[in-house]
Amino acid sequence: MIKKKEKQKNTFEKIYEVIKTMASKPSGLIGLIILIFHVILAITSPLYVPYDYKAIDPTLMLTPPSSEFWFGTDSLGRDVFTRTILGGRTALTVTFFGSLIALLWGGSLGIFCGLVGGKIDDIVMRIIDAFLSIPWILAMLLIVSLLGTTTLVLIPALGFFYGKGIVRVARAATHDVIAKDFIVSARARGHSNMSIIWNEILPNVRDAIMVEGAMRWSWMLLGFSSLSFLGFGVSPPTPDWGLMISNARGLMSFAYWAVLAPIFGLSSLIIGINLTADAFAKALGIDRSTKAPV
C-alpha cells in the first residue's frame, strides 16, 4: 500500500514541477535559459536599442565591429547590433501564434479523426497526406504572392502547414486511448462525445500534442526565416534575421559581422527551442520521435 499522501496538484504546481524537472538536466537548463533570454530580449529590446534600426548612413557603410557599433554596420550603414536584437521579434511573434494555431486545428482534427475512426478518418487522413506531399515552400510562396506578406496572412498560413504533423500525433495518441476500457465505460454511461473528448481523451493526449507543438515551433521558425531569406517574409526595413542574412550573405567575405550576428541569433533561438522541447518531452515522459531541424 502506498502510505505517502500526495496532494492534488493544481495546474500551476504541475507546471512548476515540469519546469523544475526540465531545468534539472544541463541541456534542459541551457535550452530554457536561451529561450527565456530570447523572449525577454524580444519583448524589451525596443526600450534600449542604441540606434534607430532604419537610420541609413552611407558614410558608415560596412564598418567593422567597434566600441561604437558593437556588431559593426551593414551595407546601408545601419547598426547591426540594433537590428540583431530587434530581428527576432517578428519571427518569434509570428511563429508563436502560428504554433498555437497549428496546435489548435491539428489537435482538434487529430482527436476527431482518432475518435470517429472508420471512413471519415480514412478520407481526412488521405487529404492530409495529399497536402503533405506538396512542398510546403511552394504552397507558401503561392499563398504569400496571392495574399501578401502581412503577419495576418503569415500566421494562419504557417499555422496551417505546420499543423499537419500535429494531426498525425494527436490521432495516434487518441487511437491509443480510445480502445481503453475507461472510454468504453464513459460511453456506456452515456456521456456526450464532447464530454468524452474533454474529460477522458484530452488529459491523456495533451502531453504528446504539446511536445509535438513545441517541436513544430522550431521547424516553423526555420521555415519563416527561409521565407524572409527568399524575400517573402517580412518586408524591409523591418529588421529580421532571415532577411538580414539574405542581404548580407553576398558580402560575407569582407563583412562577416553583418551575416554572423543574425545567424547566431537565429540558430541560438532554434537550438534553445529544441533543447527546451526535448527536456519538455522528457519531463512529461514522452518519447520524442520527430527529429529536430538542426
Partner 1 sequence: MKTIVQKINNLTIGFQSQKGEQISILKNISTSINQGETVGIVGESGSGKSTLALAMMGYVKHGLFTISGECMFHSNNLLEMKNKELENIRGRKIAMIPQNAGQSLTPNLKIGYQIDEALRLHTDLNQAERDGKISELLNKVRLPSPETMAQRYPHELSGGQQQRVAVAMALAGSPELLLLDEPTTGLDVTTQAHVLELLNLIAKDTGTSMVYVSHDLGAIAQVSDRVIVMYSGEIVLDGPVRSILKNPIHPYTYGLLKSIPKLSLPGLPNSMSGSQPQPGSIKKGCSFYERCEFADDDCKVNSPSLDFIEDLNTSVRCFKHNELLNLNKLDSHNVKSIENRILKNEILDLSNVSISYAKQKFLDQLLNKINDTNPTVKDINININKGETLALVGESGSGKSTILKSIAGLLKTKDGNIKFEKNKTLSNDLKQRDPSFLRAIQLIFQNPDESLNPNHTVEEIVSQPLRLYFGLKGKELKDKIIEVLDKVRLGEFYLTRYPRQLSGGEKQRVAVARAFAAKPDIILCDEVTSALDVSVQAAVLNLLQELKEDFGTTYIFVSHDLAVVRAISDRVAVLYQGRLCEIGPSNYVYKFPSHPYTEVLLGAVLEPNPDIKPKLVAEDIVEEKPPENGCSFQGRCPRILGDICKNEVPPWQTVENGNSIRCHIKIEDLKNQQITN
- Residues within the interface to partner 1 (CB under 8 A): 1-3, 5-8, 180-182, 184-191, 195, 199-200, 203-204
- Sign of the Cα pseudo-torsion (274, 275, 276, 279, in order): positive
**Least Å distance between CB 24 and partner 1?**
12
- In the chain, the amino acid numbered 106 is G
Q: Measured from the CB atom, is 3 or 291 closer to partner 1?
A: 3
**Least Å distance between CB 217 and partner 1?**
24
Helix (H) or strand (E) holding 214: helix 202-229
Work out the angle at residue 130's Cα, subtended by the Cα atoms of residues 126 and 136, and round it to the nearest 5 degrees.
Answer: 140
Matching residue, cell 518569434: 92
Q: Measured from the CB atom, is 101 or 116 closer to partner 1?
A: 116
Helical H runs in 87-150?
89-116, 118-133, 136-147
**Least Å distance between CB 277 and partner 1?**
21
Are 266 and 225 in contact by the 8 Å Cβ rule? The answer is: yes
Q: Measured from the CB atom, is 61 or 186 closer to partner 1?
A: 186
Residues in the chain: 294
**Least Å distance between CB 193 and partner 1?**
10
Alpha carbon distance 275, 27 (integer Å): 6
Residue 268: which of 288, 247, 245, 294 has the closest Cα? Answer: 294
Q: Measured from the CB atom, is 148 or 203 closer to partner 1?
A: 203
Q: Measured from the CB atom, is 7 or 291 closer to partner 1?
A: 7
Q: Measured from the CB atom, is 133 or 192 closer to partner 1?
A: 192
**Least Å distance between CB 181 and partner 1?**
4
**Least Å distance between CB 199 and partner 1?**
7
